């Protein structure tokens, strides 16, 4: 299988330019996740083909995406930006690891060994690079540079960094004599973000879903080819 290519935006600027209001982005995300689910089911029943270990990975990735989409909606509803961004970061991980199977010589063998417990980063790409998280992000960013942007910006939500302090700063005001007054809000809610910041989250998840859907289409075609080859043999 070759690396997926679909109509998703190539750059962060393109993603921002196509951004819709939050309610519309949530509706588009729901539609994309439903298409992903149907594509998963279709790939499993493609031409009555046998199930492979890669199918198990596909099922797991689809289930994970549905769970993350549900969680994202909850976090947006409660205005919890920290957890919402962490969820998007988790979905980047989902897609990058799934797409790793397009960059190995024998994806079926790799999937089988991963299923048996071997870490994905123990394998190498077609070009001989270890399948580390950093490499997988760079590889997918070749076609979608916004993925690197999202990966880097949301890593601070996954790990404890100084960014957590700045997210608690409500405002900075001039002090009467000298210096400034720092207003801090320690709360699980993040009401200070504009709607566009919240709309970016389902938009990112939706475009990541589109990459998964494209992968499933290619995998279905590959399974059909495997079935035809086995019949001919």
Residue 231 has pLDDT above 50, yes or no: no
Task: Parse the chain into domains and list their residue ranges.
Answer: 12-160+194-232
Residue 172 has pLDDT above 80, yes or no: no
pLDDT number for residue 2: 52
* Percent of the chain surpassing pLDDT 90: 64
Q: pTM of the full predicted structure?
A: 0.86
pLDDT number for residue 166: 66
Residue 209 has pLDDT above 60, yes or no: yes
Residue-wise pLDDT for 4-46, tens only, equals 445 578 788 888 888 999 999 999 999 999 999 999 999 988 6
Instruction: Return all residues near 22 (Cβ < 8 A) that are at least 6 apart.
Output: 76, 195, 198, 199, 202
**What is the CA 9 to chain-centroid distance, rounded?**
14
Residue-wise pLDDT for 99-116, tens only, equals 999 999 999 999 999 999
pLDDT number for residue 37: 97
pLDDT number for residue 35: 97
Residue-wise pLDDT for 62-87, tens only, equals 999 999 999 999 999 999 999 999 99
Three-state SS letters, the chain:
CCCCCCCCCCCHHHHHHCCCCHHHHHHHHHHHHHHHHHHHHHHHCHHHCCCCHHHHHHHHHHHHHHHHHHHHHHHHHCCCHHHHHHHHHHHHHHHHHHHHHHCCCCHHHHHHHHHCCCCHHHCECCCCCECCHHHHHHHHHCCCHHHHHHHHHHHHHHCCCCHHHHCCEEEEEECCCCCEEEEECCCCCCCCCCHHHHHHHHHHHHHHHHHHHHHHHHHHHHHHHHHHHHHHC
Mean pLDDT of 131-159: 91
Mean pLDDT of 178-189: 72
Mean confidence (pLDDT) of the chain:
87
pLDDT number for residue 168: 67
pLDDT number for residue 230: 46
């Amino acid at each position: 299988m070759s690396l997926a290519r679909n109509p998703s935006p190539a750059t962060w600027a393109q993603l921002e330019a196509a951004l819709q209001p939050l309610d519309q982005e949530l509706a588009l995300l729901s539609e994309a996740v439903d298409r992903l689910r149907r594509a998963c089911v279709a790939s499993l029943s493609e031409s009555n083909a046998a199930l492979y270990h890669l199918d198990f990975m596909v099922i797991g990735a689809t289930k994970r995406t549905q769970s993350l989409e549900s969680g994202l909606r909850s976090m947006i509803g409660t205005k919890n930006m920290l957890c919402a961004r962490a969820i998007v970061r988790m979905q980047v991980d989902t897609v990058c690891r799934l797409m790793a199977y397009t960059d190995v010589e024998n994806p079926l063998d790799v999937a089988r060994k991963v299923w048996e417990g071997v870490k994905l980063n123990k394998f190498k790409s077609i070009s001989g690079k270890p399948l580390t998280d950093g490499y997988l992000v760079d590889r997918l960013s070749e076609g979608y540079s916004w993925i690197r942007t999202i990966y880097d910006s949301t890593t601070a939500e996954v790990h404890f960094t100084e960014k957590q302090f700045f997210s608690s700063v409500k405002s900075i005001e001039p002090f009467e004599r000298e210096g400034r007054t720092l207003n801090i809000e320690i709360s699980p809610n993040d009401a200070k973000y504009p709607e566009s910041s919240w709309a970016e989250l389902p938009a990112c998840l939706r475009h990541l879903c589109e990459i998964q859907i494209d992968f499933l289409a290619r995998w279905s075609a590959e399974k059909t080819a495997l079935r035809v080859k086995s019949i001919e043999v």
